[in-house]
Structure 1
Amino acid sequence: MALARKGARTIDVDGVKYLWKLPKPRSYNQEGWLGFHVVVQHEDRRGSVLFLYFPEQHPTVASKLRSEVVSILPSQVAAGIRKAIADGWLPRSPGSRYDLDAPGAEKDG
């Protein structure tokens, strides 16, 4: 699965460029969790994709619910990329997607 360049941002983590994107909102996963995710892939878009999960609501969902809108910073995405690599994600190798809770993210429930 390749991440589409349209709407993606570039981030440099330790001298390596990645693309990251905030997909359209989804309200829950199998556990009923109301968070959102960021999709990350190496800039060449040939390797596996990282799904980095955050406990905050997607900004679109939060604004509709009149909840606090929390911005996800590039530094948080970079920290997630570093953790994923330390945990075994191989961003330049083809493979299935790699799921990871963002560093410091604690899901309620």
Structure 2
Amino acid sequence: MALVRKGSRRISVDGVTYRWTVRRRATYARGLAWRPLAYAVEQDETPGATLLVTTNRPHPSNWLGIPARAVLPAEVATAIRTAQAGGWTPETPGPLFQLDQSDGFTPAG
């Protein structure tokens, strides 16, 4: 799965450039804050396996008005390093690699 360049952000981690993006519109479950915010990351030059990071907070555009904070580049860099330590190889094609950081998320409702 390749990320769309338009709307994605670039980040350099340990000399390698990646692209990351948060889905602009919340899905139904994320809009109701039943599921936490997630974002995708892939290597920029030679995209291989995509990293999907699940956070522990609601989507910023949830429909319930629950306060949410934005994903910061420092958090993305930390997630990239954590995923690589856990076996993610971003330059090698393969299945989606999921990094679950949702500890502490409480679904609404």
Please report the TM-score for the alignment, with normalisation by the length of structure 1. 0.84
Give the gaps of 5 or more residues in structure 2.
Answer: none
Q: Does 1:76 align with 2:75?
A: yes
Cα distance change of structure 1 residues 75 and 4 upon mapping to structure 2, 3 Å threshold: same
Partner of 1:6: 6
Cα distance change of structure 1 residues 28 and 16 upon mapping to structure 2, 3 Å threshold: same
Given that residues 27 and 34 in structure 1 are in contact (C-alpha distance below 8 angstroms), is that contact kept between their aligned partners in structure 2? no
Over 2 Å off, 4+ runs: 26-29
Q: What CA distance in whole angstroms lies between the structure 2 residues aligned with 1:34 and 1:87?
A: 23
Q: What CA distance in whole angstroms lies between the structure 2 residues aligned with 1:33 and 1:69?
A: 14
Given that residues 19 and 42 in structure 1 are in contact (C-alpha distance below 8 angstroms), is that contact kept between their aligned partners in structure 2? yes
Q: Does 1:44 align with 2:45?
A: yes
Q: How far did residue 39 of structure 1 move? A: 0.5
Quick one: which amino acid aligns to residue 15 of structure 1? Answer: G
Deviations 1:62-83 (A, max 9, x none): xx31211212111011100000
Give the paired residue count: 103
Partner of 1:92: 91
Give the gaps of 5 or more residues in structure 1.
Answer: none
Deviations 1:5-43 (A, max 9, x none): 0100000111110000001322448xx952011100000
> 1:21-60 counterparts in 2 under 5 A?
21-23=21-23, 24-28=25-29, 33-60=34-61
Given that residues 27 and 35 in structure 1 are in contact (C-alpha distance below 8 angstroms), is that contact kept between their aligned partners in structure 2? no
Q: SS at 1:60's partner residue? A: coil
Q: SS at 2:90's partner residue? A: coil
What percent of counterpart residues are identical? 35
